Amino acid sequence: MSAIEEKRMYGDHREETVAYLATGQGMATVWISGDQVGRFGLEHRCRARDVATTDGAVVVATDGDVLVGPEPFESLDFGPAVAVSASDDGPTFAADETGTVSRYDDGDWTAVGSVGEVRALSDGFVAAADAVFRVDGNDLTAVGLDAARDVTTGDGTPLVATDDGLYRLGNGWLREREGSFAAVAAGQGQAHAATADALYAREDEWTGVDLPVAEPVVDVDYGECVYAATEPGTVLVEADPDRTADGAGGWRSRSIGLPDVSALAVA
């Protein structure tokens, strides 16, 4: 049994939503009930660069190793990492500082290819400085675009944030919106994308979101509500009216005082 499988089996499951934030000071854990951001703390001190969750396990890319948690976080013997991805029904991937992407199977890492600079991973897709790549067996295949910043396959169709727009994979890459996008997320029939100064949500079309803070959003994830995190360390929750104490719904926010946030994942 691999370390990730053990964490999936024995991970701590709570009634509250647990959000994991990769920060410059370490892996932070935030407990959220409905639209209320509650207690939080550092679970593991390090320079965390990326985080992904998979069925109770938490996988973290740090400047020293890839870790699997929670409680405690343990090494997966990878070395310094810049990005990770994990899914309930697929393998875990990690990328190192040289641009090499590896797959974790049965307790071992297998390199599947190298690119110039990896910026994000999502279920077999790689956002890199020179293009978007797809994992094909033990190789990487370039599938287009330039200057990719982020990629998500969370709703089945790849979405990519690039320096010149937001793209969806259809009959080729279709530009959904112009602009310099830094982050994109999708899941549960929803999608969000962020520039340096705005967050957009996809309904019938992409529209701007009115947030309670003027800070750059670095990541969004989905669960009971919509969750987002900003680079300076603010956690945001968008809840339906029936999940809020005042019945008003909308976005709530709380600063956790941990800056240099780079990624968010909820369990």
Q: What is the pLDDT of residues 45-104, one digit of tens each?
A: 999 999 999 988 999 999 999 999 988 999 999 999 999 999 888 899 999 999 999 999
Full-model pTM: 0.92
pLDDT score recorded for residue 21: 98
State the Cα–Cα distance between residues 42 and 23, nearest whole angstrom: 9
DSSP lists the bridge partners of residue 87 as: 90
pLDDT score recorded for residue 13: 45
State the Cα–Cα distance between residues 77 and 89, nearest whole angstrom: 22
State the Cα–Cα distance between residues 181 and 168, nearest whole angstrom: 13
Q: By C-alpha distance, which of 218, 216, 215, 220 is closest to 201?
A: 220
Q: By C-alpha distance, which of 168, 166, 265 is closest to 222?
A: 265
Model confidence at 7: pLDDT above 60: no
For 22-31, 160-169, 242-251, which range has the lowest pLDDT when averaged over its residues? Answer: 242-251
**Which CATH superfamily, name and number, covers 3-266?**
YVTN repeat-like/Quinoprotein amine dehydrogenase (2.130.10.10)
Through-space distance between the first and last CA atoms of the chain, rounded to whole angstroms: 21
Confidence of residue 245 (pLDDT cuts 50, 70, 90): low
State the Cα–Cα distance between residues 265 and 199, nearest whole angstrom: 17
Token output for 260? 């240099």
pLDDT score recorded for residue 222: 96
pLDDT score recorded for residue 205: 93
Model confidence at 241: pLDDT above 90: no
Task: Specify the amino acid at residue 210.
Answer: D
Please say whether the beta carbons of 118 and 125 come within 8 A.
Answer: no
Confidence of residue 2 (pLDDT cuts 50, 70, 90): low
Please say whether the beta carbons of 42 and 26 come within 8 A.
Answer: yes
Q: What is the mean pLDDT of residues 234-246?
A: 82
265 CB-side CA count, 13 A? 27
**How far is residue 39 CA from its own chain's centroid?**
21
Tally of residues, the chain:
267
